[in-house]
């Protein structure tokens, strides 16, 4: 609770809660929000969403529903369960009305709807036990609706056109969260060549500092997140058009950007390379970095390493044992190993996606041990979306060891002739546990 030092301006203006709702609202503010990020300045769940409860009944009911869900995870209570269900049903009803209101499709009007979707997605993700793995999850359908809404309401501001209309901080932060969830999901989902390359343009809104600044709720810069999307898009297009000479050239350009990406935060300026970052890290008696700014940079670097691995494996179709892949895996494992996975510096900002990806591609015992040591204590104290990801990782270890053992296979110099093994892995993940939420 001590991490929330002050309330945002206009905090829940004009709203008074009573009884269980008052307790749930305080839980959301002092417990849920304080565990989201190390970067207080970009905690949009607190600073932007909370004030919306005074003007959006949908946000209010969604907020109370997700708070109740988290409380029930710690202490089951039939009365509170009924309250949670009522808030959830009312939020869903109001969300449908808001989505059908054409006035909400004007720039600036979409923020409460996106906020409600984020909260309801949190609620759906934590209740994964009741989901049919063979059906498209509700949280994914909400992402599709949110992406459409954000595209329609995009004010058109780009970092190469700074004189155009700027987006609000709330839109930047909230749209980044929705984009992250969608982009990460696509990494472990089937490729879809129908997705336009112009998706998620709002990630590039602002100047150079804006797009390279680490967002506290996404754990990386918007620029890096957009590059991950571009990798997936190129993979889909190349799988459909394997004789194209354009896509490999584009992938090489992305590779260069990933190798030179620079990220910074309000707590710590960035470093020119991963080696410089690692050299600057001071470890405590647990072997962890204990500075919030450095932990933030390590998380962002973990995502950059993951993006490099993803490009090499899915687009360039290099095996897990390839030197280019293994080099990035070693860097990613080091990021994970020296980052805390408990205590006050361990928040939802932690690179959960990257730890999962490390698990999916690791084959050396020492690398798998690092992944295991991250997951096991986190799963012990959490329900959420971490347990299904850990089960998927353990299953993939057995599947890889049986179906794709590491050998000294030379890869073809012709990219089209290399086997797209990532697609087989995706099919096995979907068969085993369905779609994964990795945020």
CA distances from 421 to 155, 312, 424 (A): 40, 12, 5
Mean pLDDT for the chain overall: 89
CA distances from 34 to 27, 28, 346 (A): 10, 9, 11
Residue 213 backbone phi and psi in degrees, to 5: -80, 130
Cα 211 from Cα 223, distance rounded (Å): 5
Q: How confident is the model at residue 52 (pLDDT cuts 50, 70, 90)?
A: very high
Cα 292 from Cα 299, distance rounded (Å): 11
Contacts of 336 (CB under 8 A, 6+ apart): 302, 351, 354, 355, 358, 370, 371, 374
Cα 107 from Cα 119, distance rounded (Å): 21
**SS3 assignment, position 158:** strand
Cα 82 from Cα 75, distance rounded (Å): 14
Q: What percent of the chain has pLDDT over 90?
A: 64
**SS3 assignment, position 306:** helix
pTM, entire model: 0.91
Q: Is the pLDDT of residue 157 over 50?
A: no
405, two tokens: 């053992």
pLDDT in tens, 16-25: 788 899 999 9
CA distances from 211 to 121, 126, 207, 305 (A): 25, 30, 6, 18
Most confident of 68-72, 117-121, 307-311, 339-343: 307-311
265, two tokens: 């935060």
CA distances from 36 to 64, 217, 344, 365 (A): 17, 7, 11, 31
178, two tokens: 């929705």
Which pLDDT value is given to residue 132?
75
Contacts of 280 (CB under 8 A, 6+ apart): 271, 294
* CB 95 within 8 Å of CB 58: yes
Q: How confident is the model at residue 408 (pLDDT cuts 50, 70, 90)?
A: low
Taking residues 184-207, report their average pLDDT: 88
Q: Is the pLDDT of residue 156 over 90?
A: no
Q: Which of 119, 120, 98 is nearest to 109 (CA)?
A: 98
Cα 65 from Cα 59, distance rounded (Å): 10
Cα 217 from Cα 177, distance rounded (Å): 7
Q: How confident is the model at residue 382 (pLDDT cuts 50, 70, 90)?
A: low
Q: What percent of the chain has pLDDT over 70?
A: 92
Q: Is the pLDDT of residue 329 over 90?
A: yes
Q: How confident is the model at residue 72 (pLDDT cuts 50, 70, 90)?
A: confident
Which pLDDT value is given to residue 128?
64
Q: Is the pLDDT of residue 242 over 80?
A: yes
159-163, long-range: CB < 8 A, 24+ apart: 159/204, 159/205, 159/206, 159/207, 159/208, 159/210, 159/211, 162/206, 162/207
Which pLDDT value is given to residue 335?
97
Q: Among 186-200, 236-250, 281-295, 401-415, which stretch is predicted with the lowest mean pLDDT?
A: 401-415
Output the CA torsion sign for 80, 43, 333, 398: positive
Cα 384 from Cα 183, distance rounded (Å): 19
Taking residues 280-286, report their average pLDDT: 93
Give the residue with greater pLDDT, 76 vs 234.
234
Most confident of 6-10, 65-69, 423-427: 423-427
Taking residues 401-419, report their average pLDDT: 86
Which pLDDT value is given to residue 10?
45
**Domain edges within the chain:** 1-149, 154-439
Q: Is the pLDDT of residue 6 over 60?
A: no
Residue that is written with structure tokens 């991250």 in the block: 374
Give the residue with greater pLDDT, 36 vs 15.
36
pLDDT in tens, 109-135: 889 999 999 999 887 877 766 667 778
């Amino acid at each position: 609770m001590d991490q929330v030092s002050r309330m945002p301006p206009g905090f829940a203006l004009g709203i008074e809660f009573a009884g269980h709702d008052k307790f749930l609202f305080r839980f959301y503010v002092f417990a849920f929000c304080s565990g989201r990020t190390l970067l207080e300045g970009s905690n949009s769940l607190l600073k932007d969403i909370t004030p919306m409860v005074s003007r959006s009944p949908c946000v209010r009911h969604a907020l109370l529903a997700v708070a109740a869900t988290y409380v029930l995870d710690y202490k089951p209570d039939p009365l509170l369960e009924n309250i949670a269900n009522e808030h959830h049903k009312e939020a869903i009803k109001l969300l449908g009305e808001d989505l059908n209101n054409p006035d909400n499709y004007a720039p600036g009007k979409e923020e409460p709807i996106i906020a409600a979707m984020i909260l309801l997605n949190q609620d759906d993700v934590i209740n994964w036990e009741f989901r049919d793995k063979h059906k498209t999850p509700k949280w994914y359908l909400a992402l599709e609706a949110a992406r459409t809404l954000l595209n329609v309401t995009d004010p058109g501001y780009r970092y190469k056109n700074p004189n155009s209309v700027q987006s609000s901080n709330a839109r930047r932060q909230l749209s980044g969260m929705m984009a992250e969830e969608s982009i990460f999901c696509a990494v472990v989902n089937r490729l879809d060549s129908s997705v336009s390359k112009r998706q998620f343009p709002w990630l590039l809104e602002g100047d150079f500092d804006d797009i390279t600044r680490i967002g506290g709720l996404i754990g990386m810069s918007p620029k890096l997140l957009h590059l991950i999307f571009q990798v997936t898009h190129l993979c889909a297009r190349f799988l459909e058009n394997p004789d194209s000479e354009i896509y490999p050239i584009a992938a090489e350009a992305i590779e260069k950007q990933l190798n030179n990406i620079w990220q910074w935060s309000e707590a710590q300026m960035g470093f020119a390379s991963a080696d410089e970052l690692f050299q600057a890290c001071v470890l405590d008696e647990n072997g962890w970095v204990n500075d919030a700014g450095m932990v933030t940079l390590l998380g962002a670097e973990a995502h950059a390493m993951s993006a490099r691995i993803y490009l090499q494996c899915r687009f360039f179709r290099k095996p897990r044992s390839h030197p280019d892949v293994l080099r990035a895996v070693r860097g990613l494992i080091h990021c994970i190993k020296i980052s805390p996975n408990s205590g006050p510096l361990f928040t939802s900002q932690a690179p959960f996606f990257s730890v999962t990806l490390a698990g999916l591609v690791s084959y050396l015992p020492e690398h798998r041990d690092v992944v295991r040591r991250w997951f096991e204590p986190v799963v012990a104290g959490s329900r959420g979306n971490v347990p299904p990801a850990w089960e998927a990782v353990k299953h993939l270890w057995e599947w890889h060891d049986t179906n794709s053992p590491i050998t000294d296979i030379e890869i073809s110099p012709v990219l089209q002739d290399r086997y797209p093994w990532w697609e087989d892995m995706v099919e096995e993940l979907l068969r085993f546990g369905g779609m994964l939420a990795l945020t």
